Structure 1
């Protein structure tokens, strides 16, 4: 309560900077452009679910890399042995073991052959600081005496990692060619690339442009023999058969006559003579010379242009082409010719990339999500602010000022960090509105207790802030642990939720203590009241003595029965799993002529032979959610299924608002990471509470929290709410909320253990619960006021998330008040108290 110029300066500086960094996010672009250059202009980045766009998760195709590397290695071995050393050989390839087997026509040359091929050893390193690198090849002998060359696992991994880095640069060039703004291209793990392009709603085109390898090569066509004849008789040495764009096939030489890396430009154009779109290309000087030499030596022969192992065209060379330029013709449209030119200009991907996760959101759906989030946030803020004033009067105004600054600081931090705000992120901010007042309620209730014990107003104020601070730290840090786990083990929207929740927890620590205490100090110095009139409204009157421990056996029995039912339902009935966990495709469609008819949509799609198709309402009467099981042909087959649905519904005035496709690979990983996240959170919190309290408190807190998780999981199973990735976020947030309540009660139990050493433990726990129940009911009510608008106005996308949160708050309050106490007793807290008494007597005796 002492005046501190430094504290005043810090609060003022933080508030001013917070406003300066937060305001640009709420101003139009022309106003931001007119700002002085020294003022911040960076805004919060809106996620794809808020502004629309496309999200692709790409994975390097390891099988393709191995196949291609073995083919190249086979050519190198043949050239080294036969062409350079005159050693006859027969090479076979085993892709399963990543091995070449070399049978020599003259076994006496085995050592010479071994020495020759060992010179092909290649070392790969992805770090400038690495010494030596990783050997890519391993040499040996097979049981039947053949020489073997094997690709090492370490070498394949290093090559994949290197190819991902190269792929990111190529993808960035291709996306930049599309003219989009603020694309996000990030590496994920060792073999994946995440691409997010805001405002680009044509995911099919984006996928075609990004995931196509676009490797252009030129090969001579093998003369005098067709592909079908060669396949019937056996392929001549050094040849291969590739499909052609017209549906046939061509027999080509394996050796690449000229590669696409020599291209310096590619542009879409129009061939006036043949009246068709083409792609014109131009070589660099080296490529132009090589192209001229090849065409000069092979006049009258066919020359194939191959794109991604498909022959686009194979014309006859009429005369030498010395200008270094040419045309690629095929069944192009103006759009596909332009896209191919983009691909060729950006360069070929060094490896094939498979799309394993795809999400597309229409801009109109994003605008609806923003509207839902703003509506829910404004209503929640009004309800919480109004309730705090009704409950605490002027003290509620102090808390509300801190709350408003808290929200400003969250947006400022998001802007400074360049973080992405998603719809679950807005939910995190709205939840923070409810949680932020918790610290103020703790402080205010502590002040009231201290004043009732006979302390003066200034003593009560000081004690309120000092004694509540430890509890505030404990409750906030347990939630921060959950936010950290969510961030590192979650993805996409879950990470957005974790970021806003984590920032809200940190800013709440600052505003609830520093800012609120500053306001209280300024008010007290001016008014100097004789009595603190803090609370005007409460749910439970002072002096309440509810005998919770007397009914504890019935409560425990009820909790055991409810937990068994929840687990039984989860085991026997299962869950309504979202595509995050089972794979497949979810499509949100909207009817343009009024309410949608789910039955008609279901009947229309039944004839498409897509396997299991679910059709259900989605929020508004005009919107419908279509879920399609993962198709047997993988991601390409999933995309074909989406196209079929889109075409079938287009005739019935339906438009696609969003698509979400998740492969089986990703869904399995998400399920595994979700379970791990819950376990890690519980272990981390167990360790923290064990460190801050005694081990009985830690085990009781984790047991109580596990009870809440089981009950919430039972809700998902019994009600059929969709269990998806955000549900994991809901469960983990409930872990934090439940622990928040449990820690507050446990902290009071620990305090009373020191004060009332002769009081029986059941009575002491009853006393602790009754002392904190006023704070618990008020805090939980403010959280409900924040959550209910999310349930009603937050939109269908996060409906299951917010319902589970609301239910979990009820369960968390119930368990922390009634369930936690009996568990403490059963874990032997009474014996611990007796030990403390014995220690205290010994110390007292020694001091006498």
Structure 2
């Protein structure tokens, strides 16, 4: 590097460091963690391609992903990660919200609670105060003021109006005056939902203006509004509403809801009213709805005949042609037939809210289900204009025909996920096939088709994921903490070692370059928004070793030049120049591995590949450019005149080729033993050798409570958990035995019945819950049903058209499902593997709760999880779904809810019994009695579940209840739990009356019942769940094999090109095969010894071959080849233009490079040891393979690869044997039939022998060694 232009070069380096630092700071916000470090869930879904042509299946996963992203998480606020897998699979990852995000959410909730605390809690609290008298009344009214000055005056006016009405209750004017005064009091409340709607707007002047309006209207709330705005904005940066995998699944099922609704229209004869359309009750003042929108927002009140819907895109929906029309829309809004109003900066349109005026989303368990089967661009036959044709299924066609036939000439709107997308005029009755016409451009048609397809999409995403992987937040945090600790210790040790060995000058410069390298890697990852995974931490740590390797090569070259008497400045330049090709070759071979891993690996393995690949690229920059810039600057300033380096390894004069007579037999024995041991274990006991990623199956982690006990007593041990899962004692309560008995109950005890509608079947049991029966029958009935709904001890099955035609056929399928459970699932659970899981370090004096991992080849994750919770749920740290029954009101509603009449005073007046609970606050509302809760709940826990259910996405449109309460009905247990509760809810917008019972049931009672059911169905999953379907496991095997073959082939090709002859590449391949087989043998041996005393003393844990371990083997290939290339590069340099490769030249090259071979392996080995010791169990197998590989790889470089260059005949024979063995291995993997395996293996063996016999002896060609073939 020339001394000119040093300032410019330093500016470049400074800019890069500054940019990387800004990109990565603060790291908690800028670095994107994967689910293994943060916790979360990964779901792999199969897309249902039934009825789709091959052309329609092209890029299906890309299209589905695009539509799902747009409707499920359009703003990206849920931090979901989407990845198409092939044409028909889609992976979705849901990271857990970070601790900082949770704290911001809590702060936002606290600020919101402070706002609500200033509000009056509904009409009832005011009526209670007014009902008092004298000083007690005055005190109660004063308590309602809550520091809002305007409220006191209005409360006094309300008191006067109340007393006037009480004196003459028949006077309509006094009644109206009372209601107006009451409304004035309630208007002093701040509408928190309206504030949320405003805060959800894009930051800017319009948002500030809307907030200012609320401040001006409610000056007493100003400080609280500002505090809430600050908390809301902080929360909105990384908000995430999903914390459990069931939330994500529910969101995926509930998104993309397509509906057709008739729009409300102005009455031409009276534009201030809605058009009645044959029903006088539908003719209502439009001003009332507009005023209600401004006051309450768009959420409907119970019983509303019309409802406001947000308009997705005003220009498209209203068919506006220019932007000017959009800007001036407010001026023309009131003159249009459609009723449009503005709220919180967004336009809303009024539509009918009655089921008779729409084709709406069917309720769960209903057989009146419909779906859109196709939407495509078309042309209007009469006008030739662009249009959209669509097709419904048969039930949908019937329902749509009824809707459109009764509303010809009216406006039909398309609603997707509650947003108005477009509308058109109904020209005639439409059945299954319809056409949407309008003044559409081609882009309009394409958008409308996309909207319609989005609504049809849920039928294409199969309900049960092929793969599910859940990592709890505490496990993710533990992985992250241990990974960071390993990184820190690895970095410290390497830094100290380099300074110690190469002195302060060279060592500190190398260490500074190393630090810069890490900053650049993290900065680039933050810029690319790349996911940082646990294997990614391993890649970062290995980057440390790689970066130091480059410096070691340079410094050792400088040392050689100084030993030859070259002056320091020239020696430094020669060191960089001569090390360049070796560094490039070594790093590029590892880069090849990273590219292959990035192509075939899982998301976590890709994280490793990206991190290591970026690290290699940046390490070449820092080692070759930055360090040289520093040294050049120091020399130019007269600060540096030489290096002071230690020499712990002197150049030996060993005859390495002579030692091959010892090395090769040792290697032969090691390879043969390792291969035999691995093949024996992998064929006789594959469950113990391979992870479920390659076998298919389910892995769950169970965390026991601190006071949990199992049969046998004492501290919970692995043997006890194994017995509780596998049922070694058939009489003991165990998961396998429970499944066996549950299947028997399904076959003999469960009662099959017909539902209330055609195609609906029920399964009822006294011993099994609906959820358990659903899980037991999913394997057989899922493909034949549109939905399976669990209710208490009953499961409701809605069959697909033509799939199940009678109760007898349904019962036969249930019997088939039960037989499958008994024959296969129980057997799989009896063979489950159980191992203890370390919880890491805990605070002093805190005893770790016992945790265990259970692994089984059974792929039905839901059934495995349901069975484990059924048997061990009361001992585990889980919140299971609650099994319950609802009490029927036989006297009045004949439904599972009770109407609270106005004359009722006590709870016993509503549900019977002797409860004297005062229900005055809930008159006109609904009571829902839930009985036989299993497990029992405390009142507080039940209330928490109701709150959580009200926040779930699919409950968001439910009617808001003015008040609700939870009343225990059964005696409380010692832990304050109860098995029977009454849930009381009331909506002041629609109170119960005999005259309006149907609307009350539809808009109050049924939504309340659904909310109670949803609250009891909430379950918090086991902390870690991983499931792989057989087809996913098969693909993983193929990917792993393809990755290894591609890596070996790519490396042979690269080395062949770089060194000009295939011998170098083939010699490297033989050594790599030696290293991989030894690595596999070591893994097998370690897994075998893990449960022994020797294994425990060595810190060994049970190891299974999974994708991260395959990544370790591939990384081992790259690292092993690095050392080999260093020697090959020196052989090429020493050989020069000579035509022969002598033993002396090979020995000389090995001896000259021995110190750097050992040192580069040593620096990497240091960081691998840190990974093994401090990286935690999640990365220990990876570190073990890499550590063994570094030792074996360093040995094979000297003892195998290089000596084989001198014996090309042996090299050729070994290569042929490797090809033959690989071919036989592929035959065994691809062919299940043993006869075919043996025949094909014999053919391959015979062909190989013939190949070797006919092979020519090595010849000399053009000065290069060649093996004749």
Question: What TM-score, normalized to structure 1?
Answer: 0.69
User: Equivalent of 2:735, from 608, 625, 628?
Assistant: 608
More deviation, 423-432/514-523: 514-523
Trace 1:314-713 onto structure 2 (pairs within 5 A). 348-353=457-462, 354-393=464-503, 394-527=505-638, 532-538=642-648, 540-541=649-650, 543-574=651-682, 576-593=689-706, 597-606=717-726, 607-609=734-736, 610=826, 611=829, 612-620=831-839, 622=849, 624-631=851-858, 637-655=860-878, 656-693=1022-1059, 694-713=1061-1080
Deviations along 1:708-747, one digit per CA (max 9) or x if unpaired, are: 1111111222222211110110000001000000000111
- Deviation at residue 792 of structure 1 after TM alignment: 1.0
Q: Specify the alignment match of 1:56 in structure 2.
A: 43
- Deviation at residue 654 of structure 1 after TM alignment: 3.5
Q: Specify the alignment match of 1:770 in structure 2.
A: 1151
Contact 1:403 1:437 survives alignment (8 Å): yes
Please give the alpha-carbon distance, in whole angstroms, between the structure 2 residues aligned to 1:177 and 1:437: 44
Contact 1:579 1:662 survives alignment (8 Å): yes
Please give the alpha-carbon distance, in whole angstroms, between the structure 2 residues aligned to 1:268 and 1:311: 28
Trace 1:833-844 onto structure 2 (pairs within 5 A). 836=1263
Deviations along 1:369-408, one digit per CA (max 9) or x if unpaired, are: 1111110000000000000000001211111111111111
User: Are 1:306 and 2:369 counterparts?
Assistant: yes
For structure 1, list consecutive stretches of 5 or more residues without a partner in the other structure. Answer: 33-42, 70-154, 219-264, 273-278, 296-302, 326-342, 839-848
More deviation, 742-751/611-620: 611-620
Deviations along 1:165-196, one digit per CA (max 9) or x if unpaired, are: 55334532553399952212232221112211
Please give the alpha-carbon distance, in whole angstroms, between the structure 1 residues aligned to 2:540 and 2:492: 14
Deviations along 1:745-780, one digit per CA (max 9) or x if unpaired, are: 11111111128878x722221111111111111111
SS at match of 1:519: helix
Q: Specify the alignment match of 1:4 in structure 2.
A: 4
Please give the alpha-carbon distance, in whole angstroms, between the structure 2 residues aligned to 1:349 and 1:776: 58
- Deviation at residue 271 of structure 1 after TM alignment: 8.9
Task: Give the aligned length.
Answer: 649
- Deviation at residue 214 of structure 1 after TM alignment: 7.8
- Kindly tell me: are residues 597 and 489 of structure 1, through their superposed partners in 2, closer, same or farther at Cα, counting changes over 3 Å? same
Larger Rg: 2
SS at match of 2:79: coil
Q: Specify the alignment match of 1:750 in structure 2.
A: 1132
- Kindly tell me: are residues 352 and 434 of structure 1, through their superposed partners in 2, closer, same or farther at Cα, counting changes over 3 Å? closer
User: Are 1:205 and 2:247 counterparts?
Assistant: yes
- Deviation at residue 626 of structure 1 after TM alignment: 2.8
Please give the alpha-carbon distance, in whole angstroms, between the structure 2 residues aligned to 1:202 and 1:347: 26
Please give the alpha-carbon distance, in whole angstroms, between the structure 2 residues aligned to 1:629 and 1:663: 12
Deviations along 1:651-700, one digit per CA (max 9) or x if unpaired, are: 11435322111111111001111010000011011011000102211111
Please give the alpha-carbon distance, in whole angstroms, between the structure 2 residues aligned to 1:196 and 1:837: 53
- Kindly tell me: are residues 834 and 663 of structure 1, through their superposed partners in 2, closer, same or farther at Cα, counting changes over 3 Å? closer
User: Are 1:817 and 2:859 counterparts?
Assistant: no
Please give the alpha-carbon distance, in whole angstroms, between the structure 1 residues aligned to 2:395 and 2:849: 46
- Kindly tell me: are residues 165 and 269 of structure 1, through their superposed partners in 2, closer, same or farther at Cα, counting changes over 3 Å? farther
- Deviation at residue 835 of structure 1 after TM alignment: 5.1
Contact 1:444 1:534 survives alignment (8 Å): no
Contact 2:37 2:533 survives alignment (8 Å): yes
Please give the alpha-carbon distance, in whole angstroms, between the structure 2 residues aligned to 1:590 and 1:438: 43
Trace 1:772-787 onto structure 2 (pairs within 5 A). 772-787=1153-1168
More deviation, 763-772/800-809: 763-772
Question: What TM-score, normalized to structure 2?
Answer: 0.47
Q: Specify the alignment match of 1:158 in structure 2.
A: 55
SS at match of 1:726: helix
Please give the alpha-carbon distance, in whole angstroms, between the structure 2 residues aligned to 1:789 and 1:390: 19
Contact 1:44 1:414 survives alignment (8 Å): yes
- Deviation at residue 573 of structure 1 after TM alignment: 1.7
Deviations along 1:70-100, one digit per CA (max 9) or x if unpaired, are: xxxxxxxxxxxxxxxxxxxxxxxxxxxxxxx
User: Equivalent of 1:168, from 65, 84, 92?
Assistant: 65
User: Equivalent of 2:1107, from 725, 732, 745?
Assistant: 725
Contact 2:1131 2:1149 survives alignment (8 Å): yes
Q: Specify the alignment match of 2:815 in structure 1.
A: none
Contact 1:213 1:350 survives alignment (8 Å): no
Deviations along 1:435-478, one digit per CA (max 9) or x if unpaired, are: 11111111111111112122222221121111110111110111
Deviations along 1:539-598, one digit per CA (max 9) or x if unpaired, are: x22x32122211112101111111111111122121511111011111123344287532
- Deviation at residue 57 of structure 1 after TM alignment: 1.2
Q: Specify the alignment match of 1:27 in structure 2.
A: 26
SS at match of 1:55: strand
- Kindly tell me: are residues 159 and 569 of structure 1, through their superposed partners in 2, closer, same or farther at Cα, counting changes over 3 Å? same
Deviations along 1:207-235, one digit per CA (max 9) or x if unpaired, are: 243257988899xxxxxxxxxxxxxxxxx
- Kindly tell me: are residues 416 and 528 of structure 1, through their superposed partners in 2, closer, same or farther at Cα, counting changes over 3 Å? closer
SS at match of 1:547: coil
SS at match of 1:722: coil
Q: Specify the alignment match of 1:739 in structure 2.
A: 1121
Please give the alpha-carbon distance, in whole angstroms, between the structure 2 residues aligned to 1:168 and 1:585: 26
- Kindly tell me: are residues 211 and 682 of structure 1, through their superposed partners in 2, closer, same or farther at Cα, counting changes over 3 Å? farther
- Kindly tell me: are residues 749 and 832 of structure 1, through their superposed partners in 2, closer, same or farther at Cα, counting changes over 3 Å? farther
Contact 2:1146 2:1202 survives alignment (8 Å): yes
SS at match of 1:806: helix
SS at match of 2:92: strand
Contact 2:256 2:454 survives alignment (8 Å): no
Contact 1:388 1:396 survives alignment (8 Å): yes
- Kindly tell me: are residues 454 and 613 of structure 1, through their superposed partners in 2, closer, same or farther at Cα, counting changes over 3 Å? same
Deviations along 1:305-354, one digit per CA (max 9) or x if unpaired, are: 32689999x99xx99998999xxxxxxxxxxxxxxxxx999765252425
Please give the alpha-carbon distance, in whole angstroms, between the structure 2 residues aligned to 1:646 and 1:757: 73
SS at match of 1:159: coil
More deviation, 369-378/608-617: 608-617
Please give the alpha-carbon distance, in whole angstroms, between the structure 1 residues aligned to 2:702 and 2:673: 37
Q: Specify the alignment match of 1:18 in structure 2.
A: 17
More deviation, 434-443/609-618: 609-618
- Deviation at residue 362 of structure 1 after TM alignment: 1.4
Higher relative contact order (CA 8 A, sep 6+): 1
SS at match of 2:90: strand
Contact 2:692 2:1028 survives alignment (8 Å): yes
Please give the alpha-carbon distance, in whole angstroms, between the structure 2 residues aligned to 1:818 and 1:669: 36
- Deviation at residue 290 of structure 1 after TM alignment: 13
Please give the alpha-carbon distance, in whole angstroms, between the structure 1 residues aligned to 2:556 and 2:470: 48
Deviations along 1:776-798, one digit per CA (max 9) or x if unpaired, are: 11111111111111101111111
